[in-house]
Chains A and B, each alone.
Chain A
Amino acid sequence: MNIINFTPVPAFLGGALIGLAVVLFFVFNGRLIGISGIASNFLTSKNNRFDNFLFIAGLIIGPILYKFFSSQEINISISNSFFLLSVAGLLVGVGTRIGGGCTSGHGISGMGRFSLRSIIATITFMIVGILTVLVKNLV
Chain B
Amino acid sequence: MSKIISLVCGIIFGIGLTVSEMIDPAKVLGFLNIFRDWDPSLAFVMIGALIISSPFFHLFKNNKKPIFAKSFNYTTNKEINKKLIIGSSLFGAGWGLAGLCPGPAIASLALLNINSAVFVVAVFVGFYLAKLSEPTTHAR
Query: Which residues of A come within 8 Å of B, CB atoms?
Result: 1-8, 10-37, 39-41, 43-45, 50-52, 54-67, 74-78, 80, 82, 84-117, 120-122, 124-134, 136-137
Contact = CB atoms under 8 A, between A and B. Distances in A.
A37 B126 CA distance: 13
Q: Which bucket holds chain B's interface residue count?
A: 35 or more
Contacts of B38: 1-4
B140 A32 contact: yes
Contact of B126 (A13, A19, A23, A93): A93
A10 to B, nearest CB: 6
Interface string B28-62: 01101111111111111111111111101110110
Interface of B: 1-3, 5-27, 29-30, 32-54, 56-58, 60-61, 65-75, 77-80, 83-103, 105-111, 113, 115-116, 118-131, 134, 137-140
B103 A104 contact: yes
Output the residue of A50, A66, A91 with the most chain B CB within 10 A. A91
A97 B48 CA distance: 26
Output the residue of B15, B34, B99 with the most chain A CB within 10 A. B15
Contacts of A2: 36-38
A21 B12 contact: yes
Output the residue of B90, B113, B139 with the most chain A CB within 10 A. B139
Contacts of B43: 11
A17 B107 contact: no
B53 A89 contact: no
